[in-house]
Chains A and B, each alone.
Chain A
Amino acid sequence: MLTKRSKLVVKRKMSLTERLYLPAIFNGLKITFSHLFKRTATIKYPEQTRPVSPIYRGMHVLKRDEAGAERCTACGLCAVACPAEAITMVAEERKPEETHLYREEKYAATYEIDMLRCIFCGLCEEACPKEAIFLTDRLIPSTYDRDSYVFGKDILVESIEAPVDVTKRQTPEVLEFKKDKKHYHNRTFNDAIKKSGLSAHK
């Protein structure tokens, strides 16, 4: 009796029209007939796609810089941040002749994301100090076996010819925000050392 909307159920005898059932059936027919002309909510997938937000969290991309070198330095912050432990990587030191390939002195020789483990939370993107990993509005294509869901660098790194546009995720406000070193996740290793007053070369 909290809402005063409760009704007492009375089991009464049905009237003749109710017992005939035919009026009720015709009402039902009327309702179903009206649905013949209603718009369907179906999206015919391969031809039509559902509109997604520009900051949709779909398949990852490993970005290159303006010169075409991979930005990832294999610091492992994304792997640490990942709550699903989907990211694994093997770091390697850059050789002198590879400067055009890798931006930093260290790079990821292998970089794998298990798309079946990934929960697309975007914490890797948040953790990345090098603006290297982003989630995009692309969907993970489905395949027939589990192994092919482990995406390596061959899929994740953007190609030089067809770069993946992430400007929508990097609005000026976002870029400005990332400079704010008060937030822990915006600090890089170098920032942390500076703040502690220690010299990086010690």
Chain B
Amino acid sequence: MELLVFKALLVLVVFLVSLGVAAYATYGERKIAAFLQDRVGPDRAGPFGLLQPIADGVKMFMKEEIIPSVSNKWLFILGPCIAMLTACMTGVVIPWGGELSIGESSFDLQIVDLNIGILYLLGVVSTGVYGIMIGGWASNNKYSLLGALRASGQMISYEIAMGLAIIGLVMTTGTLSLKEIVHLQDAGYANIVYQPIGFLIFFICAFAELNRAPFDMPECETELIGGYHTEYSSMKLGFYLFAEYINMFISSAVIATLYFGGYHFPFESMTGLEGNLLTLVQVLVFMGKVFFFMFFFMWVRWTIPRFRYDQLMHLGWKVLLPLALINIFATGIIMWLNGSLN
């Protein structure tokens, strides 16, 4: 019972934190874009424009909601719902910190430690493409359909390379549970040391999965007028955009968990921290890692121009996929030579 209440609270906290971080990621994106381009960025709403996300949210809610008469109404509404739902579902398996002790009992700061955590992540992420596909198709608009087709083609192509990149990681760690992966990294080195190529492939695929520049093919304002969400307005559009930022937050968390030691930090045992204080520091360290990767996503977006669609497919199928396969074989051979393959 106690456990159930704690987990329910944790679900709520993770949900709210994801939403809050996503909201401020929009602000961060605009600020970072501005700084990288020698501009000021939003600074009118509140000090340093900190109330900008709230103003944006209010604006989204107040906008007129338009559902095209030729669209399939139910699917049109279902699209953003799926996008938002899958975005919020991925946070469940991520270990946010160590153990938190309240009174007599102590709890893990992870909503549920699935023994197939990585598979769950990949599964939920690949469900996300339905939101985009359904939304784009239901709009009954050429631009939306093309955007949705591009999105689904891109996401499915890059999921393969992504999954294969993770296989290398699963081989070295020997587990699919995210918590165990984090613990193993505390004992040894962070997984980036063992799987640099795998990390690179995973990272590139994460950009493609998030539909972010330089792989923002599904949206590309300049060609498709917004892509799959061309026909969307008001908060339904807000949901799509918001889901993207939640996905960015979660995938940063996944990258930090899988390859950068999760909530552990170097020389952790030497600091002499214990109990809840240690957990707090761990959570902060984890958030720091996550925010760094979010910054990196934004940084790349304002640096690299967009790929052409055939270049995208070339990179996905002819470069990343063979590279991921080579990575698996190389990992296997090295493990065999080490004698850790029994």
Contact = CB atoms under 8 A, between A and B. Distances in A.
A28 B299 CA distance: 10
A32 B301 CA distance: 11
B38 A40 contact: yes
B35 A29 contact: no
B43 A32 contact: no
A32 B36 contact: yes
A33 interface: yes
Contact of A32 (B34, B39, B40, B299): B299
Contacts of A36: 32, 35-36
A42 B39 contact: yes
Interface residues of A, number: 14
B323 to A, nearest CB: 11
Contacts, number: 33
A193 B115 CA distance: 106
A42 B41 CA distance: 10
B302 A32 contact: yes
Given A29-B299, A32-B299, A33-B299, A40 B304 contact: no
Given A33-B299, A36-B35, A41-B38, A28 B304 contact: yes
B37 A35 contact: yes
B101 interface: no
Nearest to B40: A42
Contacts of A35: 35-38
A44 interface: yes
A142 B35 CA distance: 30
A25 B304 contact: yes
Contacts of A44: 40, 43
Nearest to A24: B304
A48 to B, nearest CB: 11
Nearest to A36: B35
Contacts of B38: 35, 38-41
B303 interface: yes
Contacts of A33: 36, 299
Residue of A31, A32, A36, A44 with most partner-chain B CB within 10 A: A32
A42 B303 CA distance: 21
A41 B32 CA distance: 16
Contacts of B300: 25, 29
Interface of B: 32, 34-40, 43, 299-300, 302-304
5 smallest CB-CB distances across A and B, nearest first, come from A32-B303, A42-B40, A28-B303, A32-B36, A36-B35
